[in-house]
Amino acid sequence: MNDNKPLSGRVTLVSGASRGIGYAAALALAKAGSHIIAVARTQGGLEDLDDAIKAVGGEATLVPMDLMQPDGLDHLAVAIAERWQRLDGVFANAGVLGEMTLAQQVTPKVFDQVFAVNMTANYRLIRALDPLMRASPSGRALFVTSGVAQSRRAYWSAYAASKSALEAYVSCYAKEVEITDMRVNLLNPGAVRTHMRGKAVPGEDPSTLPAPSDVAPLVVDMLSPDYNKNDQIISFRESAYYSGH
């Protein structure tokens, strides 16, 4: 294995890849040698990512797709199977905040969207991609959670509930695959300088927060074949990659 390209020859899918942590992680994974399957709704953001990946000598396959689209991931899984016959890594990063409001004021439309993207899309991802990850000699899956899944702060009800559900589902899945060569974990990035954080806490000074590129090396580590933890929630701020701000 090339020490400069520890993920050489691997194929990694990144959802929510057009901006924020997904964009930074996809670029870092490509620098580490992995082919990137970049999934996002925004065509322009995906094209920007593709340019950045090519600039570092990497390769990407762009998949403009709304994760709320029924059966979209099933069709993608078929295409991946035909081209690569396996999938080595999944970074399930896509998520939506919804609205910061009282629990009784969350509209059905917002509630349904938050659960559709944060929970149901990840269930569909697991269902569609599990056979491909099992076909890899070292399949690694990483899902993004949030501290509010446990702290359950006021005004975060729909988002917190969706992340709590995700943590439960992923933990059950991780226990089911622990006898295989797969490893499945969750990442809590904490407050990071992203569009979602700006929407959630509009008065916060973004310069006080770590950038998405600060989190990316931890994602690369957790999706590498040498990473052997399973069924863990890893906090970026408690990792060696967090330098403090």
Q: Contact, 21 vs 191, CB < 8 A?
A: no
Are the C-beta atoms of residues 169 and 158 closer than 8 Å to each other? no
Instruction: Label the pairing between strands 35-40 and 11-15.
Output: parallel
CB burial of 68-92 (b: ≥16 within 10 Å; e: otherwise) equals eeeebbeebbeebeeebebbbbbbb
- In sequence order, the 6+-apart residues with CB closer than 8 A to the CB of 116 are 67, 68
Structure tokens at 103: 């629990």
Which is nearest to 13 in space by CA: 88, 99, 102? 88
The verdict on whether 159 is a catalytic residue reads yes
Q: How far is CA 134 from CA 55, 141, 174, in A?
A: 32, 11, 13
What DSSP character marks residue 60? Answer: E
CA-wise closest residue to 190 among 140, 231, 150: 150
| 159, 173, 227, 241: the active-site residue | 159
Return the half-sphere exposure (C-beta side, CA atoms, 13 A cut-off) of residue 6: 12
Stretch (H or E) spanning 11: strand 11-15
Q: Which residue numbers are catalytic?
A: 159
